[in-house]
Structure 1
Amino acid sequence: MTKELLIALGLPIAYLVVTTAFLAGRHQHLPRFVQRLTARDALLWNSLLGITIAVAAIRWALGR
């Protein structure tokens, strides 16, 4: 039970942390499409991440 929950919630969070660290650690300019995203409000990004985590949790709960 906890193994599945860890996978369902841990993978999206780990993906977010790894990609953020990768992009922040680069000492080069960000790609053009990422620069356009950073110019906008973070509400869209945070909402999509929250929805991804919520869907993973619901999918896990319904699969039980």
Structure 2
Amino acid sequence: MADLKKLAEEIVGLTLLEAQELKNILKDEYGIEPAAGGAVMVAGPAAAAEAAEEKPNSTSF
């Protein structure tokens, strides 16, 4: 049986690109599509921080 706690920790730790790839695999290979907002739930707060880091730091005055 799978270690579900470990699996959950791995999912929460995914980058945005990895979460997108996982979504594509689940859709293409298994016919599973997440509900609206599912990617946000998978990505969680860590992905929001990562997205902020990926944005160029530009300030307009």
Common topology (TM > 0.5): no
Structure 2 length as normaliser, TM-score?
A: 0.29
Higher relative contact order (CA 8 A, sep 6+): 1
Structure 1 length as normaliser, TM-score?
A: 0.28
Structure with more helix by fraction: 1
